[in-house]
Amino acid sequence: MAKLVECVPNFSEGRNKKVIDAIAEAISSTEGCSLLDVDPGSSTNRTVYTFVGSPQAVVEGALNAARTAFPLIDMTKHSGEHPRMGAMDVCPFIPVQNVTMEDCVNCANIFAQHLTDVLHVPVYLYGEAARKENRRSLPSVRAGEYEALSEKLKRTEWAPDYGPATFVASWGATVAGARKFLVAYNINLLSTKEQAHRIALDIREQGRSKDQPGLMKKVQGMGWYLEEANIAQVSTNILDFELTPVHTVYEEICSAAKDLNLPVVGSQIVGLMPLRAMLDCADFYIQRDRLFIVEEEHKVRLVISKLGLDSLGPFVPKERIIEYMVERTEEDKRLVSLSLQQFVRSVGARTAAPGGGSVSAAVAAMGAALGAMVGQMTYGKRQFDSLDSIMRRLIPPFHQAMNELLVMVDADSKAFSRYMAALKMPRNTTDEVKRREAAMQEGLKQAVAVPLSLAERVNLLWPCLKEMVIYGNVACKSDLQVAAKALETAVFGAYYNVVINLKDITDESFKVTTQQRASALLTEARESANAVLDTAERKK
């Protein structure tokens, strides 16, 4: 998987379209950068840009954006609802795929150094990149905002981490950093700005003071009035949505608003939102309201409805959820994205991959899909009302397995590719020969691990399939018979992919243990498939 870092620079310009577009163009024209979202705000006079790319590309993209903004934004004339201290106010780097937080800290430092080299402006580090504890929090660094910056720079304790301690009036200062994914989330109220801020003070972690902390960890908040929509908002930054989920913030603010007899009229995501955060919200409402929803698309729709995310404008998941955006912007070479015709032809081509391993995973996914289908053909029908609770329990495991097994279609080909890459390593010296051999052995073990995990995942479905064949719609009996043979065939294919790769592994202990495990999985699959087929034969 490619290394992907997200960069979300916030610029202090939300009204001048020419400036907003020029900065966007600077980012999108940077090689290796994919601009995902541009979110301007007139009242805040601020625009949030979201783009992804390799660590090197996003640093260059952020620098190009800053260079473009430098002659176009004049902080001496800036005003807006949002706190700020610079033209490029904040520039965080966030890990997305195959990168660590340390990689993002490195991005922040490289960016800060280059920015000061090019523009000669002061830069502070915050978040995971902070060098001092009192600079970890963005509000702490930004305290006093632009208006207090000239005096702040004169104080030794607030010397910038990079660049001169000199007040550049037109620019101010930039805060660069590394952090987890931040969800910028605003809740709409028909109220005054002061009432919204009162609620914000109660819920944000900082609270009203050290003696009066707020209710929610890792949440920043303030109240403001959104002139263009003629509503107030409790504006929050959720710094850790796993610790404090989005739905928790929404429900708490709804409760506080109710106590004040204030109506909540939806909410707003600024920028992008992680899929995991959306699904966590969905799971909360599904459990609370005792709903039965398994499709990811339906879960996303539920959250849009429950939170009123489309209250100020359309919320298009493919344009607002980062995983969906990344899928759209990356050249998609996944096997599972091919049409069935293309996939079959790629298997039949004169190439070693995709081969039996990928086919086994595809067959397994279809077997799981048949199990889910029979459940859906039973659930919600009047003649099977008494079985609804059973189907609610049996359908989700098949649906989840179907999605996980689809991922394994590509995993097998990728594992084989890693082994082939090891074969091509140089072997001109003794050290090179050793490195090549070690890489080959590691590649073979990975090539064994993938089909072994496939067999293990498939075998988890047998208890559900044994129940489904008892309770499922009798008209779908043949579908369950096909499902049983598909799942057994998948384990059969996985077994022989394990065996063929084991023969070249030199670790004898690993070979014995793995062979025993693979044999046991194949036996379990055969016995379970026969049990399902026997039950199906007796079912009338």
Active site residue ranges = 82, 412
Candidates 327, 269, 325; CA nearest to 51 is: 325
Whether the ω angle into residue 160 lies within 30 degrees of 0, i.e. cis, is no
| Torsion angle, alpha carbons of 237, 221, 230, 22, to 10 | -40
What DSSP string describes 164-189?
-S---TTTB-EEEEE-SPPEEEEEEE
- With tokens 């097994």, the residue in question is 405
Q: Token digits for 413?
A: 């080909």
User: Could you give the CA distance from residue 461 to residue 418 in angstroms, rounded to a whole number?
Assistant: 30
Task: Give just the sign of the alpha carbon dihedral 339, 340, 343, 345.
Answer: negative
Query: 297: closest CA among 267, 328, 324?
Result: 324
Beta strands 174-178 and 88-97: pairing type? parallel
CA–CA separation, 444 and 419 (whole Å): 6
Burial label for 423, CB within 10 Å (0-12, 13-18, 19+), is exposed
Contacts of 60 (CB under 8 A, 6+ apart): 30, 31, 32, 33
Residue 404: CB atoms within 10 A of its CB come to 17
Q: Which whole-number Å values give the CA distances from 474 to 292, 374, 478, 497, in the listed order?
A: 22, 9, 9, 35
On whether the CB atoms of residues 44 and 16 are closer than 8 A, the answer is no
CA distance 36 to 5: 12
59: helix, coil or strand?
Answer: helix
The answer for 506, left when phi > 0, alpha when psi is -120 to 50, beta otherwise, is alpha
3-state secondary structure 81-106: CCCCCECEEEEEEEEEECCCHHHHHH
Question: Whose CA is closest to 266, among 190, 183, 182?
Answer: 190
